[in-house]
Amino acid sequence: MSNLNARVKVRIPAAELARRIGELAAEINRDYARSERLVVVAILKGSVLFLADLVRQLTVPVEIDFCQAASYGQGQEPGEVHFKKDVDLPLRGADVLLVEDIVDSGWTVRALLDLLRNRRPKSLRLCTLLDKAEARVVEVPIDYCGFRIPREFVVGYGLDWGERYRQLPYIGVVESPSEENP
Ligand code: IMP
Ligand code: MG
């Protein structure tokens, strides 16, 4: 059994995540103060730790739901992304805030935003913990962004590498991925 922490270099420490998420929550509390119905839709699985810390600092009433994306074929092209798990709550007329772990090429979130827009919400915004802006292929409007990070594969705080490392309380980089396959 190897110790996960020993092989991962910290990029964003837990305290820094907590500080920034507090700021995001304050912004969201302000922006949705007059919302009649706010539904936070988190994208499984990567955003669950972020979601849990974010909503605990929201003072406006929220409903929470989940969706999961899957893509056909090898590449992620528009139209190829579909719901592996759809939201359960009705979204018509609601203020919907989509919560994602990381926006990379942008394909996933772009497709999910289009799918959710078809449900006729009153408003639809995106909140992502991480933004790998240099990797963007399709334009995605990000309303709330935790951190902009360079084009580097990160793990932890919900983000995985072959389903591992999600449990780490910080964002990090696997130092020697070739030593051990996920
Ligand atoms: P996109 O469609 O290229 O924007 O991909 C977004 C998805 O790819 C995210 O929801 C993550 O699941 C995954 N992803 C992208 N970059 C990373 C990373 O650095 N670490 C872990 N997962 C990532
Ligand atoms: Mg993901």
- Answer yes or no: is 176 within a domain: no
CATH number of the domain within which 98 lies: 3.40.50.2020
CA distance 48 to 181: 24
Nearest CA to 82 among 51, 106, 115?
A: 115
Q: What is the pLDDT of residue 180?
A: 54
Nearest residue CA, atom 8 of ligand 1? 104
E strand map for 15-174: 38-44, 62-71, 81-85, 95-103, 123-131, 144-148, 171-174
pTM of the predicted structure, to 2 decimals? 0.93
- Answer yes or no: is 182 within a domain: no
- Answer yes or no: is 84 within a domain: yes
Whole-number percent of the chain with pLDDT over 70: 92
Q: Over the stretch 59-97, which tens digit does the pLDDT of each residue have? A: 999 999 999 998 776 555 555 788 999 999 999 999 999
CA distance 104 to 148: 11
Structural domain for 74, as ranges: 13-152
Which of 83, 104, 107 has most ligand 1 atoms within 8 Å of CB, for mutation? 104
Residue 149 has pLDDT above 90, yes or no: yes
Residue 178 has pLDDT above 60, yes or no: no
Nearest residue CA, atom 20 of ligand 1? 154
The total domain count for the chain is: 1
Q: What is the pLDDT of residue 81?
A: 87
Average pLDDT along the chain: 93
Residue 52 has pLDDT above 80, yes or no: yes
Q: What is the pLDDT of residue 179?
A: 54
Q: What is the pLDDT of residue 129?
A: 99
